[in-house]
Amino acid sequence: MTVTVMLEPAGRCRWDERVHITVSGLAPRQPFLAPGVRREPVRAGRVRATLFLPPEPAPFPGIVDISAAGGGFLEYRASLLAGKGFAVLALAYYNYEDLPKSLRHVHLEYFEEAVNYLLNHPQVKGPGVGLLGISKGGELCLSMASFLKGISAAVIINGSVHNVWGTLHYKGETLPPVGFNQNRIKMTKDGFVDIVEVLNSSLEGPDQKSFIPVERAECPFLFLVGQDDHNWKSEFYANEASKRLQAHGKAKPQVICYPGTGHYIEPPYFPLCRASLHTFVGTPVIWGGEPMAHARAQVDAWQQLQTFFHKHLRGEKGTIPAKL
């Protein structure tokens, strides 16, 4: 049982293009497919993913898209981005099929296998690939750029600069998770949990070992930051990453901060998620964001990341200034 719904602008709502939403039965993870985009399930070695290919003639610049820590598998952002001329691999990394059920131990070799799969795909052009991640996915992209070869550009959306929740492993090296203090949890007047102050700083004491060695990275970075993020201190993390890179002679990354914007900066016109169940906390938490400011930020961020990838993966010159 399949139905295709075509959504178009009405009244004062402006979409940049029609979006086709395909739903088969009651399957919860069907993608938003732009016209002509091809969807290919990937089961290669340990890699569990879906590859989205544009309708234009190949080869295409490749991007690995990594979602937040909710587990399972999300495809919508990758399928939409493929409509902009990129081969995008939506990568599952835990709590999906035969993948690990938790993030207690994360092995970057799995992500390296995914990068190599994309680089070796006949319809993907190198010499490297891009990374796109949000929240825990952004943190993982920062680790991938720091440890792995073949990364040409990375976009980090409200990611952490230190390793969070579980131990990170790669070829004999480990990064322990940063510490936390539950006594710093606050309650909002609506009865939700605010965890923005819970994590320790990785700039002092034993938690310094959790700081991701971004100075090893060889690729340019774009950090997209919500200044009202209540999951963790994304603006602080982006600035600390920038300081560390420049202190080691690396190029200053692009950091774009959006006032009134919360944690989940999604593609344009997705609704603001102000609070929901946190996978690791086990209770509803607030994510931050004001509806109008957050919506405007999502429109701008979507254009910014495309421009960044076109520049560093396609070699197209020019950037667009942040509008907010």
> Would strands 60-66 and 87-91 be described as parallel, antiparallel, or unpaired?
parallel
Catalytic residue selected from 65, 229, 234, 312: 229
pLDDT of residue 72: 81
- Transcribe 139-205 into DSSP letters: HHHHHHHHH-SSEEEEEEES--SB--SSEEEETTEEEPPPPB-GGG-EE-TTS-EE-TT-BPPTTSG
Q: What's the structural domain count of the chain?
A: 1
Is residue 268 helix, strand or coil? coil
DSSP structure string for 16-43: SS-EEEEEETT-TT--EE-TT-EEEEEE
**What does the alpha-carbon distance between residue 78 and residue 66 come to, in Å, rounded to a whole number?**
9
Number of alpha helices (DSSP H) and beta strands (DSSP E) in the chain: 5, 18
193-194 and 221-226 beta bridge pairing = unpaired
Give the Cβ contact number of residue 26 at 10 Å: 7
Answer whether residue 39 is part of any domain: yes
pLDDT digits (tens, 9 = 90+) for 164-176: 999 999 999 999 9
Contact by Cβ (8 Å): 143, 163: yes
Query: Which residues lie closer than 8 Å to 97 by C-beta, 6 or more apart?
Result: 48
In a domain, 164, yes or no: yes
Which pairing describes strands 254-258 and 87-91: parallel, antiparallel, or unpaired? Answer: unpaired
Q: Is 294 a catalytic residue?
A: no
- Compute the distance between CA of residue 236 and CA of residue 272 in angstroms, rounded to an integer: 22
In a domain, 167, yes or no: yes
Confidence tier at 270 by pLDDT (50, 70, 90):
very high
Residue 91 has pLDDT above 90, yes or no: yes
Amino acid letter, 71:
G
When pLDDT is cut at 50, 70 and 90, the band that residue 191 belongs to is: confident
Q: Across the strands, what pairs with 209?
A: none
- Measured CA to CA, the distance from residue 286 to residue 111 in angstroms comes to 30
pLDDT number for residue 32:
63
In a domain, 106, yes or no: yes
In a 13 Å sphere around the CA of 117, the CA atoms on its Cβ side amount to: 24
Confidence at 5, pLDDT banded by 50, 70, 90: very low
The pLDDT, as a whole number, for residue 13 is 41
**Residue 168 domain-assigned (yes or no):** yes
Alpha helices in the chain (DSSP H): 76-82, 108-119, 136-147, 234-247, 291-313
240-267 confidence digits (pLDDT tens) = 999 999 999 999 999 999 999 999 999 9
Tell whether 25 is covered by a domain: no
- The reply to whether 263 belongs to the active site is yes
Q: Supply the pLDDT for residue 3.
A: 43
Query: Could you tell me the residue range of the domain that residue 151 belongs to?
Result: 34-313
Mean pLDDT in residue range 136-162: 98
Q: Does residue 319 lie within any of the structural domains?
A: no
Q: Is 221 exposed, middle or buried (0-12, 13-18, 19+ CB in 10 A)?
A: buried
Residue from 79, 135, 143, 152 carrying the catalytic annotation: 135
Q: Which of 162, 263, 310, 312 is catalytic?
A: 263
Verify whether residue 248 is a known catalytic residue: no
Predicted TM-score (pTM) of this structure: 0.88
Residue 286 lies in a domain: yes
Q: pLDDT-derived band of residue 280, with 50, 70 and 90 as boundaries? A: confident
Residue 31 pLDDT class (50, 70, 90 cuts): low
Q: What is the CATH number of the domain that holds 128?
A: 3.40.50.1820
pLDDT value at 302 more than 80:
yes
Which residues, listed in sequence order, are joined to residue 323 by a DSSP beta bridge? Answer: none
